Amino acid sequence: MSSRWSDITRDDLELELAALGARLDWSPTPDLAESILATQAAPTPLPRARHRRHWLAAAALVLLIVGALLAGSATVRTSVADFLGIDGVRIEFGEPPAAPVETPNLGTPTSMQDFVRWLPFAPMQPAALDQPDALYLHVLENGDVLGLMAWPPDDALPQAAETGLGALLMQFEPPDDIYMMIKTVGTSTGSITETTVNGEPAWWIEVASNLTIFGEESIDSRSTANVLLWQQGDIGFRLESALSMDEALAIAESLEPVS
């Protein structure tokens, strides 16, 4: 198979795909007209439309940090106000969302097989931890899919009060034109520290914060524990836990492809 395609250009590949598309036989379309017309005789009421709040037209995933940086931390505030170096990540300052919900909505529970199939990249997991206890797929408002791995609390993973979990690892493919945003408001204490994971820029967020995800069904807002945020290759990662920065870094640096 490989030799036939080794020199193909992208333009030629697109032409081949279009030619293939023209030859495909699809499963036959059922005749829907009759059944649809029949319903017009006895129309059913439309379900109530979902209320969509568009926080930002382009934002699908928003991290909101409620609680300003330490008073007097002008240096840190300036450094994190820049574009962070993870594709699509930006820090801004703004108002928090509505009151957070108690129980985090992690998405749809899934198997490892579907976890691998639904994510548009090769997912990773930390070798420093056991197999995750649960896997979730969270569909964003624009149809992109986040993958989440959850570990229960144990001797090595203290329970994070915000999630009830020992660790929660989110992985995603940051698109070019929507972005993750960190907003800080208020005057509570905490810090955002720039660090590295395997030599790549990373941010340790240890401040009272809210996470808001604009999913297809709802806008979920909840309090978060400590967060390590970084990018490895083309994939973004977010590790949430009650661990220290060094402990979180050790986990982050142990990522390997899912086996």
Interaction of residue 24 with other proteins, rule CB under 8 A: yes
From 127-135, 156-164, 173-181, 238-246, give the range in contact with other proteins by CB under 8 A. 173-181
Q: Alpha-carbon distance 105 to 115, whole Å?
A: 17
Q: Which of 56, 58, 74, 127 binds other proteins (CB under 8 A)?
A: 58
Inter-residue contact 231 to 108 (CB < 8 Å): no
**CB of 32 or CB of 71, closer to other proteins:** 32
Using CB under 8 A as the binding rule, whether residue 112 contacts other proteins is answered as yes
DSSP 32: -
CA distance 219 to 119: 21
**Contact pick of 81, 116, 208, 245 for other proteins (by CB under 8 A):** 116
Which of 70, 156, 208, 258 is in the footprint of other proteins by CB under 8 A? 258
Which of 16, 92, 194, 200 contacts other proteins by CB under 8 A? 16
Q: Which residues contact 193 (CB under 8 A, 6 or more apart)?
A: 76, 203, 204, 206, 245
Secondary structure of residue 174 in the 3-state scheme: coil
Q: Is 218 in the site for other proteins (CB under 8 A)?
A: no
SS3 75: helix
* 216 touches other proteins by CB under 8 A: yes
Positions 131 through 170 that interact with other proteins (CB under 8 A): 139, 141-145
Using rule CB under 8 A, residue 48 touches other proteins: no
Nearer to other proteins, 85 or 109 (CB): 109
Cα–Cα distance, 28 to 145 (Å, whole number): 30
Torsion angle in degrees (nearest 10) through CA of 90, 91, 96, 99: 60
Longest dimension (CA), the chain: 70
Q: Of residues 39, 75, 78, 187, which one binds other proteins by CB under 8 A? A: 39
Q: Rounded to the nearest 5°, which phi and psi values hold at 110?
A: -150, 170
* Chain residues that interact with other proteins, rule: CB under 8 A: 1-2, 4-6, 8, 10, 13-14, 16-21, 23-27, 29-33, 35-37, 39-40, 43-44, 46, 58, 60, 108-114, 116-122, 139, 141-145, 173, 175-178, 216-217, 234, 257-258
